[in-house]
Amino acid sequence: MNPQWDIIGSEGFKFMGKMNASISHEIKNVLAIINENAGLLEDFMLMVEKGVPLDSERLKKLADKIQSQIQRADRIVKNMNTFAHSVDETKGNVELGELLSFMTVLSQRLAAMKELTFSVVPPPDPITITTHPFLLENMIWLCLDFAMEMTGPGKSLHLTADADDQWASITISGLEGLRDNFSSEIFPGKRENALMQALGGRAVFDQSRGKIVLSLPREPGAQKDLKAAGE
C-alpha cells in the first residue's frame, strides 16, 4: 500500500468522525429544544384541564418554535446526507462556490465554539472542476481547522474561489493572528501534502499575507486515476 494513501485513509476516517460528531450534536440540540417545547405544551393542556383559559397567541408562538426546529433538523439531515454521498465517486464535478458554502455550514458549530465566523464570497461565474469531492472536502477542513487557530483580531475567515482555463484556486484569508515563533514549515504538513498530491494540486501558506491558497486542476488531465494510485 502506498504510504501516502495510508495517511489519506487515516485522515479521511478522522474527518468523517469529526463531522458526524458535530452533526449529531446539532441534532441533539434540536431534539432538546423540541422536547422542552413539548413540555410547555403539556403544561398548557394541564392548565386547560383546570379551567384556565388557553392563550391562543402563546400556543401559536410555541407551535412556530417547534416548526422552526423541525425545519432546522431537516436542513441538518440534508447536509449530513450530502456529506455522506461525497464518498460515492472518486471523480465528480464540483462547483467551488457551492462547496465553500457547504464546508462553512458543516464547520459552523466548531467555529462558533471558538467564537469565529466565516464569510464566503461566491465567484461572479460558477467555477466547476473535476476532482475527488471527499478528498477536497477533507483538505478544505484541514485548512479551516488550522486557520481557526490563526485568525486575526476580526475573528473571521474569508473564503473565495478563482479560476483560469486550466487551474482553479481556493483562498482562505484572515490568518493574521500568527505567533512570533510560528514556523511556516508546520503547514502544509504531511497529511495536507498527501491530499494535495492525490488531488493533483498544491497548497501554499502565505504567512506574510495571512492566507492559504489551494491550486487545483480544473480537469484531471494526465493525472493517474485515484483508485489506481492507491494500489
- Residue 133 backbone phi and psi in degrees, to 5: -55, -45
Omega of the bond leading into 188 within 30 degrees of 0 (cis): yes
* Average pLDDT score over residue span 1-30: 91
Q: Output the CA torsion 218→222→228→231 (10° steps).
A: -110
* pLDDT tens, position by position, 121-161: 999 999 999 999 999 999 999 999 999 988 877 789 999 99
* pLDDT tens, position by position, 29-58: 999 999 999 999 888 888 888 888 878 888
* pLDDT tens, position by position, 153-187: 778 999 999 999 999 999 999 987 765 445 556 78
Q: Cell numbers for 211, please give them.
A: 492566507
